[in-house]
Amino acid sequence: MPTEVDGQQQVEGRETVFVLKEALASEKRGKPVWFRFMTVIGPCSTQDIEERAEFPSLEAALRSPAVLHSLTFYEPVEVDHGC
C-alpha cells in the first residue's frame, strides 16, 4: 500500500513502480536525473536512485505536479522497486 512522504506516494511490496526522469537535465549531464519531491517553486531532482519518488502506477506518475511544471520535462519510466 502506498504511503506518503513529502507529499509523494512511496510504494512498498511491489516489484515494479514508476519514477519520473527529467529528460533535458539527464541528457545534459550524461546520467539520469530523477524527480524527488515538489517544492513551492517547483520540482526538486536528484541523481541518487535511493532518493527518487516512486509511484504505484503510470497514471499516478502522470498526475504528479512535476509533469505539469512548465520549466521541466519529466517522462515516466517503469523500474524495479528499490533499484
3-state secondary structure 25-73: HHHHHCCCCEEEEECCCCEEEECCCCCCCCECCHHHHHCCHHHHCCCCC
pLDDT at 15 (0 to 100): 82
End-to-end, the C-alpha distance of the chain in Å comes to 18
pLDDT at 67 (0 to 100): 93
Tell me what the mean pLDDT of segment 62-78 comes to: 92
The set of residues, in sequence order, having a beta carbon less than 8 Å from that of 48 and lying 6+ positions away, is 34
pLDDT digits (tens, 9 = 90+) for 21-63: 999 999 999 999 999 999 999 999 999 999 999 999 999 999 9
